Amino acid sequence: MSIVAIRGAITVKNNNHDDIITNTENLLKEIEKRNHLNKDKVISILFSSTNDLNKEYPAKAARNIGYKYSALMCFNEMEVEESLKKCIRVMLLYSSNMEQKNIKHVYLKGAKSLRPDLIE
């Protein structure tokens, strides 16, 4: 077994509980789907969000969809001039036999602009 890192990001329309939770759940579900993940093998998920999202912790969305044993942690994203706004980023650490080069990173909505080289 090895550990791989899976990245993803999504933008939200509004700084409110529902938008933050719903969009984070959608992002995590899409990462699961594209990489055929087993939740029990997710070691941890690190969440960052831009400073304009402060009405809810994105990690709550992970708990809502069944990440009971994974370590979860939320951070503020570094503020860079003219950077993408209302954005939630994730990095999952996953115990697997997959090779890092075969991971499918997921960037949705406005976050597609962060890594256009990884968009399918």
Give yes or no: 89 in active site: yes
Residue-level pLDDT at 15: 98
Strands of the sheet with 2-11, listed across from one edge: 71-76, 42-49, 87-96, 2-11, 106-108
Q: Is pLDDT of 48 > 80?
A: yes
Give yes or no: 87 in active site: no
Q: Is pLDDT of 108 > 80?
A: yes
Give yes or no: 34 in active site: no
Q: Global pTM?
A: 0.95
Q: What is the C-alpha to C-alpha distance for residues 93 and 6, in angstroms, rounded to an integer?
A: 7
Residue-level pLDDT at 120: 66
Mean pLDDT confidence for 61-74: 97
Residue-level pLDDT at 115: 87
Q: Is pLDDT of 119 > 90?
A: no
Q: Which two three-digit tokens encode residue 10?
A: 């999504």
- List, in order of start, the domains of the chain with CATH numbers: 2-118 (3.30.1330.40)
What are residue 75's DSSP bridge partners? 48
